[in-house]
Amino acid sequence: MHDHAWWKVLLLAALLAAPVACGGDDDDGDTIEDTADASDADDTAAEDVVEETTDTTPDADDVPGEADAPPEEVDPGPCDGMTDTNCLQIQLGEEMFYRRLDGYETQDIDDEGTTRTVVYLPDLIDEAITATPEDYRYQGYGTDGYTYGGFATWENMLNGYIELGNRRLYWDPSQLLPNSWNIRDTYLLVLSPAGG
């Protein structure tokens, strides 16, 4: 199409969008004319047609799979585990990771007759921290500086939980770990190479 013929397309679109009448009465009794002057055509009708045909951006609902895709997990950024009881800091070497406990799935466990709402510890160690969590040992620290003697293995971690609110660590009784491993107000979990 030549550049100087663009107006013909708009005119044609306006004519096609205009109501067609073959005579008769409208609601107020006036007769509708059979002819229309092209110069009297409503410019907005042509603009509407152009806008409708040029807007090909699909809505989010129209894109297959977009609505079904889970939201991408984003590191919430730094939080202070010493003062924020919803924050757990996880250290691997020089890197520090931050986990807000209320952002994780919880479950209830029985602790000697008391129900505790906890987060499963392995859920906190994702691929952003390490793809091979079994290659590390783990040590938790309370805000008072207390830690258990020794290191938790990945096997221990697979049987460990942290309670919402007070951040107390709990271990499945099958681990036969002493109560001293149930650290209160755990703010920091440090990973170091296993066997190191």
Domain extents in the chain: 3-54, 87-193
What average pLDDT does this structure show over 29-39? 44
- Encode pLDDT of 148-176 as tens digits: 988 999 999 999 999 999 999 999 999 99
Residue 47 has pLDDT above 90, yes or no: no
Cα–Cα distance measured from residue 130 to residue 87, given in angstroms and rounded to the nearest whole number: 19
Cα–Cα distance measured from residue 166 to residue 187, given in angstroms and rounded to the nearest whole number: 10
- Encode pLDDT of 97-135 as tens digits: 999 999 999 999 999 899 999 999 999 999 999 999 999
- Encode pLDDT of 52-62 as tens digits: 444 444 454 44
pLDDT for the residue 10:
47
C-alpha separations of 180 from 134, 149, 170, 187 in Å: 23, 8, 10, 16
Cα–Cα distance measured from residue 66 to residue 162, given in angstroms and rounded to the nearest whole number: 34
Question: What is the pTM for the complete model shown?
Answer: 0.61
